[in-house]
Structure formats: structure tokens, C-alpha cells
Structure 1
Amino acid sequence: MFQVPKVSGILNPGGVSGILNPGGHSQNRIKGTVVLMRKNVLDFNSVADFTKGNVGGVIGTGLNVIGSTVDGLTAFLGRSVSLQLISATKSDESGKGKVGKDTFIEGIITLLPTLGAGESAFYVHFEWDESMGIPGAFYVKNFMQVEFFLKSLTLEDVPNHGTIRFVCNSWIYNTNLYKKSLRIFFANHTYVPSETPKPLVHNREEELKNLRGDGTGERKEHERIYDYDVYNDLGNPDLNENFARPILGGSSTHPYPRRGRTGRYPTRKDSNCEKPGEVYVPRDENFGHLKSSDFLAYGIKSLSQYVLPAFESVFSLNLTPNEFDSFQDVRDLCEGGIKLPTEIISSIAPLPVIKELFRTDGEQVLKFPTPHIIKVNKSAWMTDEEFAREMIAGVNPNVIRGLKEFPPKSNLDPATYGDQNSKITAEALDLEGSTVDEALANNRLFVLDYHDIFMPFIRGINQTYAKAYATRTILFLKENGTLKPVAIELSLPHPAGDQSGAVSQVILPAKEGVESTIWLLAKAYVVVNDSCYHQLMSHWLNTHAVMEPFIIATHRHLSALHPIYKLLTPHYRDTMNINALARQSLINADGIIEKSFLPSKYSVEMSSAVYKNWVFTDQALPAELIKRGVAVKDSSAPHGLRLLIEDYPYAVDGLEIWAVIKSWVQDYVSLYYAKDDDVKSDPELQHWWKEAVEKGHADLKDKPWWPKLQTLEELVEICTIIIWTGSALHAAVNFGQYPYGGFILNRPTSSRRLLPEKGTPEYEEMVNSHQKAYLRTITSKFQTMIDLSVIEILSRHASDEVYLGQRENPHWTSDSKALQAFQKFGKKLKDIEEKLARKNKDEKLRNRFGPVELPYTLLHPTSEEGLTFRGIPNSISI
């Protein structure tokens, strides 16, 4: 039965608005409003084509080019876009919903206060009477050669019902391109499959079938087909063997989450690899909003295509020194800028991304924004307290773990790698009067351990330009609640071979002399490990990559009418598109990450090694904190957990956000599933989860920890993990990148030499100048400019960002109870934001602002546009 809320006052005796036609006959016309949006003009290739008179440019820029005037836009559309309503309550002879007559978009509505930037609204009138029942869907046909973005259709004064809204948000191409079926959209009602109005059952099933495709052929721009493939497009063996990269996914050697299938042609030298180039994503995953997310994402493209080659020219022609000579030189990137030749500035300054992200002036100076880490204090980053604090309040706060045995042991196979256990001794540690056993018993010892992750790759890495160690850092929890590092272990593979174990040296804290410089360098090697793990594992793998299979499975198996589709899809916005851009410019062979991060060609391969131990259920924040040994279950504590580092900003704030997300999911899901059997008997839901696990994460499908999705509790946990991952977790590891890493001294991304040995010129340099020794060791000037250019983009919020607790369209569902639950969710988030702001003013909580006086705000839900160091977007949109 078609169950939607009735609206009073739907018949208007005065005939002001609604179903009365110009001739005065009632009950045979329904008035509607269609909202379209012109295509984004920030695709600079399309704009360039148009300015040259290229027809492709006209198609590419769409309605933005066509409609220079209101009359021109209306005249152009004319009878070029038609719509047909489909009944949800009356069937034809075949059992399908009755279809009304074609009707065409009419005159433009010049005044509609709800219109956003770039949007245009049009009248439409449908011939429809009570014998057709109540509309529940509509077909749209575009007879133009130009695509447009269909935002919504609103029907007013529908007989016996009232207002019906259709939230569309989809690109509509020429109707001849849709060979199998017409483009269809459903009203914003919500149904589990068994409650779907019978006239719409076929349409619901047919639309999902179309979205799945047949798994063959090369995907075309206009298509909306979701399918899976392995990561076989990161390398380009046709160039030369240095550009070949292993295929990630489909093997036990290199397991990986699946990405969206493109079906491109293979390379000549390896038929299993796809040729690199423009990457298809289902058309509706392409940014459909007007400005900022497109701008930021295409900023990455412009960096790769224009800015980085310009930087390379600067350094290859020796137009600026290739090394920083002092810490002030690094600060000058934001305080004074870099003077570049006129021809270099002129080649990149016209790009919108340069004007928006960097600052250039008439003196040909390229200037970066001042990173938050040095806004208050320029040298506090060097302190041991700040070094440790950033492990729990920085951009990578979810790796540190409680130490349960001493010395730390390795999990690497001794048959392959020999003895890799730590060589740190208890006697070496300054534990402020405690013994190691006492500190362990009192949960006061912690470790940041990158040894096992990096050691299998160190030999290969050190054969490139880079020189690095696998590191372990032991930390002690002081009485004042802060952490202090007490030892750093730097390890290299044994010269005699991997089976001979590790060669390790232990560096202890020092405050003066050459030992203090050695300690400073040891901390740099740790941060280099941390920076690379953060970018490739905490950020790329654990948010971007693992989310894509869930996005694909959702569109393949959950109808737009499904309650879980409506719950999850806001948290997928733009993710497939930004992932595709990453494969083109960031994580590809010789891409931006390989150019500037330590593992270079091993970068994404390392993330595959980490994925072997990824566990979906451990992505739940409470489970993750317990697994890392930084929290224990305690029913008397907030959220049922007692943190072993009481002042742990990421964990404290994260638990607040996790709890309110889970509460919202519980409230919402319970509206549609009363008992476990309801979950088991939902075919769309079961197919969705089965495929997400068995195809999307196929390399881990046999792991016993996957939820079976047989209970309401499992459904709530699954949805909460997905929403947490796409929103708060990504925010925590993304939007602090420039605030902390924009000052490269604080977060170097590579190291270029090992600790100098006594008797060498490098050692003498270290004795004479700790600054030069540090600068010659860490990220080079050229790499620094690459790093800063990229992370400045990645750390920005768009003007059209949609944050947690918000929806792009307030009419995303017609279910009033769901809307009330969502409003409750938003109110809780606002209260949490106020609570977290108060915590940041508590001077006793030293880890919340640290020596650099930078309050922890990354998990504050809202933000303004720009580089704000706060805000939780709904999705991974950059």
C-alpha cells in the first residue's frame, strides 16, 4: 500500500495554485517545479575548448554556456526535456505503474528563494487525473546533445495527497544514450523491499539491474554503472620497467579493497594492467555541485599537470637554492615567500588553484599560508612534549598503543627476517623513579611502533634517493597526564641478509651538545615513518580505499527507496571521484606521493601489506581503542570505556561523536526494522552486505570477524562503522595535514641520509650546526614545495561542504519520524561541539593545546570554508 503522509488543504477553491489549469478545469493537471543546474565551469579543459569554438566545449559547459539570458535559456530548452509521471497506486495490464503523457519543461521561474548557485527552476504541468492514482516516480528524457544536472522535481497539490518531492541529483544525457531503459526517479518516500507499492516493484528492480551493468566493455562518461576491479592502473609498464607497479587485489600476496571498474584497454607489455589516463567513475559520482569540491579536486589535477613541472623547472635550472640553510628559510615559505622568475610565475599564476591556495604578487613571490603549528610559537614543535602530544592529538592520533610487554617484540616471521625484537633495555629508560614492571602494571608505558611495517621495505627504500630506518618509540605517561619519549630505536636490515635480523641503535633523550642533535634527528626519523604511515595507511587505505567497496555495493543492491540507502549515501558523496583523481595524480607511479614521500615506488604496496591485517569490526572506535591497549571496558566510565591516557583528545572527542552517530543510526534503523527477522528477510540488504564482503573486500572475505548481518544490532554496528569512517575518522586524519605538516620541520615526509658516523664531514656538520644537519636529512626544498602544495588543498573545506548532522536537501525523506530523529542528531552534535570547546579552555588538559598552543578542534562538527583545522564533513570529499 502507498503509505505517505497526507497534507491538508490540497484543493484550493480559489484556484491560486495547484491543479487548476488556465481553462478552469480541475483534477486533470498537476503543477510541478523542476530544478536544474548547469555544469561546473571549473573543468578548465572544457572551458578552453569552448573559447576556441570547439563544439565539445559547448557540450562540456552545458547550461552555463547556453543560458546567458533567461529568455535564451527557456527558448533553448523548449520541448527538449520531457517528463512522464508513473503511478504508485494504479497499475496497467502488465502490473506496472500507469504512465502519464509526456510533458515538457515550460517557462523559467525567476524568483525562487531556495535556489542555490548555478541552479534554475522551471514550471511543468502534467496531465493527470484521479484514475491514474498517486505519482510515485517519473521518467525524464533529454533530447538535447547537452547534459544537465537534474536537482529535483516538486509536485504541488496532487489530488488526494498534497505535495510530492523527488530528490534527483543526477546527470541527464541525451535519451538515445540510455539504450536499455529510460531514466527514472522515485519520490522521496522510504520502503523496505516488501513494502514497495506493487506498481513500482518492477521499476525498483529494473533500476538496480541497470546500475549493476553486465560487467563487460569500457565504461563511457554518461554511464552510471557500478562494478568492481582490482588496482591494476597505478603503473605504466609501457613507459619502462621503472613505472611498473604490482597489481593490488586479487591475490594473497597483495590483497586490497576493490575500486570501481573502468574496463579500459590493457597496456601493451602487461595485459593484466590498464592503461593510465582519464578515469571513469559512475556519472553521478562526478561532482555535481557548482564550485568548491570540483575546484579543490581539480586543483590536484592542475598541480600535477602544471604546477609541479614548473617547480621542476625552477630546481633543474638552479633558479633557486635546492636546500634550506636554516629553519628561518623554511619559515620564509609563509613569511616572505620564494622569489621565482617571471616566466615561471606567469605559467602557473593564471590557474585558479594558485590564486586560491597560494599567494602571488607583483614581485613574483610564491607564498604559502602560515601553518597553525607555528602561528603562536615558532620553536615549540621541537620539544619532546609536542613530539609526543601529536601522537594523541595530531593528524595521526590512532597508531600509538599501550605497551604490554618489555622489550617490544616483533611479529615478523623469524624464518624470513631473523631476530627483529627490540634491543631497548630497561636500564636505559628514565621512568621518573618507576621500574619498567611498575610502569607496565600501571599502564604508563606506550609505544609508537613502525618497526614491522617498514622493515620488509627498508632495504628497497634505501636503494633509492631515500635513507630511512624502521623505528620504535617508547613513551612514559607522566603524573601531569602528558607523555614523554624515553627511547627511540632505529633499525636497519642486517648487511648479511634479512635472515640475520636487524641492526639496531637506541637513542636516548638529550638536551645539549651533539647528543641533542642526534636526538632531534632520531625524532625526525620517527616522524618520517609516521608521516608516511599516516598518508598511505591511516588516510588513504583506512578511509578512502576501504570505503569504495561499500559505495559500489550500495548502489548495486540498495534501491534509492531503501531506508539504508538514504541513511548511507550522504556519507559517500564525492568519494569515488576523489579516489579516481588520486589514482591519476597522487598514488600512481611517479605521482605526487611517490615524488615526495619516503617509500616512493613502494608506497601503495606498503598499504597492501597493512590491509592484510585490516579488520572491519575494529574500525568501530571503542573496539579500536581497546585493541590498541589505550582503553579498557568500564561500565562506570563515559561510553563504557576508561581511557588509559585520560587526556587523549582524539579518543575523548571521538567517543562523543561515535556515540551520537550510533544513537542516530539506532533511532533511524528501528523505524524500519522491528526485529532481527526483518533484517534477515530483506533481500536487498542481504545482497548488499554479501557482495560488499565477498566482492568488495574479496581478499578478506573468509575472515571470521565479518558480521553476518542477521540481527538488528549487527545492522546498527555496520552502518555506524561506515558512517564513522566516511565522516569523523577521515576528518580526524585529513584536515590537520597542513596545520601540522605545512611546516615541514615538524612533519618531514622523507629522510635522505642516515645518522652521520663519527669522523665524517656530515658528523662535523652535525656538531657545528644542528639546523643544517636536520635540513640535509629531511625532505628537500623541492619535495617540500610539492608536499605543501598538495596538503594545502587536502586540508581545505569547500564552500558547499555538507557537515555531519546536515543534509544537502532537507526533503531527503518524506518520513516525518526519520526527520525528527535526524533533527535530534543535529541537536546532539551542536551540544557536543559546545562541550568540546569548553574542554579546550581547561588549562589542566595540557594535551589539548600543548606547547604550540594549538587547541584540538579536528572533531568539532562544523566549520567555515577554507583552512580551518576543524569540521566533520559527511563524506570523504577531498
Structure 2
Amino acid sequence: MSNKYNWSTNVSPLIGIPMFDNSQSIIDVPAELHPRDEYTDKLNALIQKVNDNMSAYYLSQIKIITEEDHRDINKLCEILSEKYRALFSGDKEVSLKYTDESFFEIASKLDSRLEASDPDLSLYDSQYKIIEKPLSAEFIHDNEFFAYWRLAGSNPGVIKQVNFLPKNFPLTDADYKKVMGPSDSLQSALESNRVYMLDYADLDGAVAEEGFAKPEGGSSGNEIIGYSYKAMALFATHNVTGKFMPVAIQCGQAAEDSNPMFLAIDDDDHRWGWERAKMVVQGADKTHHQLSSHLGLTHLLAEVFAVATIRNFSEAHPLYKLLISHFEGTIRINHNAIVALLGPGQFVDNLMAAELSKLAEKTIEYREKFNFYDNFFPTTLLNRGVTDTKGLPSYPYRDDGLRIWHDINSWVQRYIKIFYKNDAAIKSDRELVNWVNDIIDNGKVDGFIQITTVSQLVDVLTMIIFTCSAQHAAVNFTQRSYMMYTPQMVGTLKFEKPKSLLNNTKAHWLAMLPGSIRALTRIGIYTLLGELHNGYLGEYTYANGKEIFPKGENLEVDAELELFRESLKLTTSFINKRNSDGSRLVPYDTLIPANIPASINI
């Protein structure tokens, strides 16, 4: 076991979560834990793109540009560049609080110079100059797209099939028929596995149902009151068309607590109540995505296996070679960006409504309660009841994810059999035993147990590789397309939930959206998160560019790796066919193998 790398459970604000101990460094993690050099080049290019977009926005919106305006815009770009490089390079000497205050003050000054815009979507649309508007902007107020979001969007692992409605969601058959038509019934849909729900009850403690005030930014002293709720939503597959559609939304857990049942009815009386209810669901989904699906259950989970691997395996060990490229840049991004983004006034604090300490506590809770074996990809699909292709014919995340899982599993199985001929070989491998014990003793992964068989080892390694590659890709690289465009999703609602079915207006819906500065900063961070691709699944190289499995070094490994890459090509063909056959509302390119980085590095 290496004494060079140690654990820490004192990384603020994630106290108690096992992470790499980087307390001795004032700047960055050790150089050997950095991603390849081209990563920085890609990052710098994206930062420049963000700055060019922001500059073009202000120049297009200020009627008469002065020299002072030019200086302010250049200073704004300089501050933003400094902040992003600090986040991703780990320069702890840069004060994020100072850069944020300076950014807000200058941005507010420039905002006061903007021409008045129509109080509608043009406020947000005008911010896309160099950067193109994301996919979701094409489907504003589109119910079918709102439903498809659950199957191929930014948080596709939450929807669950139900055969009965929970008591606190009193949807009637008559209301169901108002949306789905008289030829269907709620009972028939339930019995044929066509009813699915979102339920954000587990956000308890991490929402702001009564509103929570946070500083707007800068030194103005102004505060913004934000709201978020533990929403519930019901969807169903149409019995004739097979389309997956939204049916009803309840904005909180208790129907009697000013939470009427909003239906997907598009008429003048109900349209804006429904749109407001959809935004409540989006706020809950965004909070769950960031705290659980993304940060807690990919980044922080992968950290455990990355630390255990560099602590316990020699570089010549076959499991080190199999795993190490799947951890490229992971420890660095976790310590430099993730921890900083959870700081006061940073990304999570600004974009989520609840108190920051509560958001951090919920992230810790999600990570600690995550059971390793219960969340193998095929198992979690079964547990959520989403394997029935008649009840849910098209589910891109499920369909493509299963292909990737089986590709990885087959490759790992063939690779492991080269080095472990029987179960006894598992027990006699001292480095492997140490690795397992380190995870059990120090990693705090719920349900992780001793590995005693070859088949168990294969499943464990498959889960690790899938999490670091496909699962992270599914929740990270969809952020740009689905979460960037402010009118489609916000985590902090500026106006409270709708409390009655009638008398809701477009003005009420617009009042839920954040101001222009926060919308503009979202474009920046989601461009970086959604466009920085580094490496790909099936590539096995060290961060220095050298091949992990040089051809000719081990002919058996060469043959099995080639089979893996061929299977990924077949999966690519499968996905491309599904994307073009009309079964998907829009193409789902996220899990095309070439689009899946091998590791979590952004």
C-alpha cells in the first residue's frame, strides 16, 4: 500500500465523505493525477468561446458603446477567465469570492446600459451570440419534449413505473381521461405497465418551500428569495399512439397543502398553471440531478475507487492497467472544481434555492445511502420497473445504456479470465485483497463486500467502469442541451408555486425565471461542462499519452481489446439506427461510444 496517497474525510463542505487527502498542497493535486496536456488546451478554447459570446452579447445590446463599456466588458472577460481557470486548475490563491463580487458589480453596471427588451424570452435568447441556443430552446412549452426529457435528458434515471398511485397523489380516472382520451382508463394503464412517476420526496431538507433569501451578488446587499419544492408528476404511454406523455403534476407532497392536481390541458384557462407546475418539477429535478445523480453518485463515488486504486495496485498489476485510464483527471476535477462549486455564492449555491449547508448535507446523504450492488445498471432498471418495452417502448437511456453495460461486462470478463483462472486466484492476490479492504474500511461504499469469485470481480469492475464512463456521460453531457436554457429549467424559482388551477398567467410564469446575469453565467458553466470531451470509451492510454496495452506486449489482451472495440462499433450502429428510425423524438447521441469519455474529468 502506498504511503504517498492518503484518505481524508475533512474536505469541506463534504465532511465525512472519503476523498483524496490533498491538504498538503496549496495549489493543485500532484501532477501525476492531472489529465493529459490537451485537456488544458480544450479548456482554454472553451473559456475563450464563453468570453467571446458574453462580449458579443453586451456589444449587441448596448445602443451606444463607450470606451468605458469596452473596458468593463474586457474586465468582465478577464475576471471570468481567471475564475474558470482557478476552478479547473486548482489555483487556491485566486479568491472566488472576490472574482464573483467583481463580476457581479461590473455585469450589473453593464446591464443598466442595456436597451430595454421585450419582457419575454428575448431577454434570454439575446444572450446566445457565438454559442448556439441549446436543443431544449426549440421545444419551449412542448409537453412531449417535457416527457422525453425523463427518458433521454439530463436526469434519465429517476422515472419509475407504478401499478398503483400513492395515497398522496389523488389523480382520478376522470382527470386521467381528460388528458389521455376516453379510449383509455387509469386502471387499464396501471395494469399494463404504462404509468410512470417522478417523486422528489427524497429532497426533504434540501428545498425551500417557504422561500429562502440569498445574496444577489456583489456588494449591493440585495437579496433574492428563491423557492423549490418536493414535486410529484405522472406520465403515461398512450394506449394508441405509444407516445410517452405527461398527465398530471402536484407541486408538493401533500395535496391538501395548496397543491391542486395540474393536468396537461392546453386551453386558455389551464395553460399557464400547467406551465408553472412544469417549472416546479424542473426545479426539483435540477436539484436532484446536481446533488445526487451527478455529484453524489458519479463524481464522489468514482473518487473512492480512484484513490483505492492508486494506493493499492502497482503500475504493473493487471487491474491497475484496466482501471487507471477510467480515473484520468477524476481526483483533480473533484478537488479543484467540484469542491469550489459547492462554496458560498458559487454554482450550486446560486442555482439551487435551499440553504447551502442543507444542499451539501443532502449530497452527503445521497452518497452515503447509495448501495453499490443494488445499483448495477440492469438491476436499477428492474428496481424502477422500466424494463417492459411494451409499457415503455422507447427509453434511449435504458436501451443504449444496456448495450454499453454489456459491452463493458463482456470485455472485463474476457480480460479477467486471462489473469484469474479460478476463484482461488482472487484470494491469493494480495494487492486485490488490499484494494477491497481499503474500499470497505475507508471508502464507505454501502453494500461493498469482500470479493471471493471471478464473476463477482467482473461485475464490480463493470460497475466501476460504467459509472466512470457511460453513467457520468449520461448526466453530464446532457446538461448543455437540456439544462442551459433558462426558460426550460431553473433550480431556484423566483416566484412561488401555483396554488390554484385557474387565474395563472404568462406573467406569473415569467416571474419564476432568474435575471439576465444568472442566466448568462449558466451559459458559461454549462458550455464548459457540456462541451469539454477528453478521451473516449475503448481508449486505453496513460495521461502522458503512452498506450496502456501496447500491441504485441500481450497477444491475449490485444485480441480481447480488439473485440471490445468492435462491439462498441456495433453499439454505435445500433444507436445510430434508433436515432434515425423515428422512434425517438430527437436523437440521443449521449451514449454513442465515441461521445463517452473513459473517465470523469469535467
**TM-score (normalised: structure 2):** 0.82
User: Residue in 2 aligned with 1:387?
Assistant: 146
> Which of 567, 571, 576 is residue 832 of structure 1 equivalent to?
571
Residue 806 of structure 1 deviates from its aligned partner by 1.4
> Which of 453, 457, 472 is residue 206 of structure 2 equivalent to?
457
Deviations 1:194-251 (A, max 9, x none): xxxxxxxxxxxxxx4xx3x2xxxxxxxxxxx3211125423xxxxxxxxxxxx532xx
Q: Which amino acid aligns with 1:618?
A: D
User: Residue in 1 aligned with 2:361?
Assistant: 605
User: Residue in 2 aligned with 1:233?
Assistant: 12
Change (3 A) 1:321 1:680: farther
Change (3 A) 1:584 1:729: closer
Change (3 A) 1:875 1:400: same
Residue 310 of structure 1 deviates from its aligned partner by 2.2
Q: Which amino acid aligns with 1:515?
A: H
User: Residue in 2 aligned with 1:248?
Assistant: 15
Change (3 A) 1:758 1:523: closer
Q: Check conservation: 1:322, 1:781, Cα contact below 8 A.
A: no
> Which of 327, 348, 360 is residue 121 of structure 2 equivalent to?
327
Q: How many equivalent pairs are there?
A: 534
Deviations 1:267-318 (A, max 9, x none): xxxxxxxxxx946523311234243366469873458575773244322673
Residue 323 of structure 1 deviates from its aligned partner by 9.1
SS at match of 2:270: helix
User: Residue in 2 aligned with 1:547?
Assistant: 302
Change (3 A) 1:453 1:614: same
Change (3 A) 1:645 1:565: same
Q: Measure the CA separation in 1 of the matches of 2:517 and 2:203.
A: 24
Change (3 A) 1:492 1:438: closer
User: Residue in 1 aligned with 2:523?
Assistant: 788
SS at match of 2:250: strand
User: Residue in 2 aligned with 1:579?
Assistant: 334
Q: Check conservation: 1:752, 1:778, Cα contact below 8 A.
A: yes
Q: Measure the CA separation in 1 of the matches of 2:428 and 2:535.
A: 33
User: Residue in 2 aligned with 1:777?
Assistant: 512
1:614 aligns with 2:361: no
User: Residue in 1 aligned with 2:597?
Assistant: 873
User: Residue in 2 aligned with 1:727?
Assistant: 469
More displaced 10-residue stretch of structure 1: 720-729 or 682-691: 682-691
Deviations 1:39-68 (A, max 9, x none): xxxxxxxxxxxxxxxxxxxxxxxxxxxxxx
1:628 aligns with 2:384: yes
SS at match of 2:284: helix
Residue 628 of structure 1 deviates from its aligned partner by 0.9
Deviations 1:107-152 (A, max 9, x none): xxxxxxxxxxxxxxxxxxxxxxxxxxxxxxxxxxxxxxxxxxxxxx
SS at match of 1:487: strand
Change (3 A) 1:469 1:316: farther
Deviations 1:84-111 (A, max 9, x none): xxxxxxxxxxxxxxxxxxxxxxxxxxxx
Say what the alpha-carbon RMSD is for the aligned residues: 2.8
User: Residue in 2 aligned with 1:469?
Assistant: 229
SS at match of 2:252: strand
Residue 576 of structure 1 deviates from its aligned partner by 0.5
The structure with the largest alpha-carbon Rg is: 1
Q: Which amino acid aligns with 2:169?
A: S
SS at match of 2:261: strand
SS at match of 1:631: coil
Q: Measure the CA separation in 1 of the matches of 2:26 and 2:109.
A: 29
Q: Check conservation: 2:228, 2:354, Cα contact below 8 A.
A: no
Q: Check conservation: 1:708, 1:714, Cα contact below 8 A.
A: no
**TM-score (normalised: structure 1):** 0.57
User: Residue in 2 aligned with 1:491?
Assistant: 252
Change (3 A) 1:617 1:794: same
Could you tell me the percent identity over the aligned residues? 25
User: Residue in 2 aligned with 1:710?
Assistant: 452
More displaced 10-residue stretch of structure 1: 620-629 or 715-724: 620-629
User: Residue in 2 aligned with 1:286?
Assistant: 34
User: Residue in 2 aligned with 1:398?
Assistant: 157
Q: Check conservation: 1:488, 1:507, Cα contact below 8 A.
A: yes
Q: Measure the CA separation in 2 of the matches of 1:535 and 1:321.
A: 34
Residue 681 of structure 1 deviates from its aligned partner by 1.6
Q: Measure the CA separation in 2 of the matches of 1:323 and 1:643.
A: 48
Q: Which amino acid aligns with 1:693?
A: I
User: Residue in 2 aligned with 1:855?
Assistant: 587
Q: Check conservation: 1:260, 1:281, Cα contact below 8 A.
A: no
Alignment of 1:418-437 (within 5 A): 421-430=168-177, 431-432=180-181, 433-437=183-187
Residue 666 of structure 1 deviates from its aligned partner by 0.4
Q: Check conservation: 2:124, 2:519, Cα contact below 8 A.
A: no
Q: Which amino acid aligns with 1:455?
A: D
Residue 577 of structure 1 deviates from its aligned partner by 0.4
SS at match of 1:855: coil
Q: Give the number of the structure with larger relative contact order, counting CA–CA contacts within 8 Å between residues 6 or more apart.
A: 2
Q: Which amino acid aligns with 2:35?
A: F
Q: Which has the higher strand share?
A: 1
Deviations 1:663-703 (A, max 9, x none): 000010000001111112211101101211221116x3xxx
Deviations 1:374-426 (A, max 9, x none): 4xxx3x331111100110011211110111321x25xxxxxxxxxxx334444
Q: Which amino acid aligns with 1:788?
A: I
User: Residue in 1 aligned with 2:539?
Assistant: 806
SS at match of 1:486: strand
Residue 506 of structure 1 deviates from its aligned partner by 1.6
Residue 857 of structure 1 deviates from its aligned partner by 0.6
Q: Measure the CA separation in 1 of the matches of 2:482 and 2:251.
A: 24
Change (3 A) 1:838 1:470: same
Alignment of 1:522-533 (within 5 A): 522-533=277-288
User: Residue in 2 aligned with 1:314?
Assistant: 107
SS at match of 1:440: helix
Deviations 1:714-747 (A, max 9, x none): 1000000000000011111111211222221122
Q: Check conservation: 1:570, 1:875, Cα contact below 8 A.
A: yes
Change (3 A) 1:784 1:324: farther
Deviations 1:423-448 (A, max 9, x none): 44444322443333322211011001
Residue 331 of structure 1 deviates from its aligned partner by 1.4
SS at match of 1:484: strand
More displaced 10-residue stretch of structure 1: 725-734 or 744-753: 744-753
Q: Provide structure 1 residue ranges, at least 5 long, that are not aligned to the other structure.
A: 1-207, 214-224, 235-246, 250-256, 265-276, 338-358, 360-367, 410-420, 495-500, 633-641, 863-870
Q: Measure the CA separation in 2 of the matches of 1:460 and 1:687.
A: 47
Residue 457 of structure 1 deviates from its aligned partner by 3.5
Change (3 A) 1:643 1:551: farther
SS at match of 1:510: coil
Q: Measure the CA separation in 2 of the matches of 1:403 and 1:324.
A: 43
Deviations 1:583-616 (A, max 9, x none): 4531122222211223351322222232343111
1:685 aligns with 2:399: no
Q: Check conservation: 1:230, 1:248, Cα contact below 8 A.
A: yes
Q: Check conservation: 1:324, 1:330, Cα contact below 8 A.
A: no
Q: Which amino acid aligns with 2:192?
A: N
1:647 aligns with 2:394: yes
Deviations 1:606-661 (A, max 9, x none): 222323431111332101100111126xxxxxxxxx57412111111111111100
Q: Measure the CA separation in 2 of the matches of 1:785 and 1:608.
A: 29
Residue 508 of structure 1 deviates from its aligned partner by 1.5
SS at match of 1:405: coil
Residue 839 of structure 1 deviates from its aligned partner by 1.5
> Which of 124, 136, 142 is residue 373 of structure 1 equivalent to?
136
Q: Measure the CA separation in 2 of the matches of 1:308 and 1:855.
A: 40
User: Residue in 1 aligned with 2:78?
Assistant: none
Residue 823 of structure 1 deviates from its aligned partner by 1.4
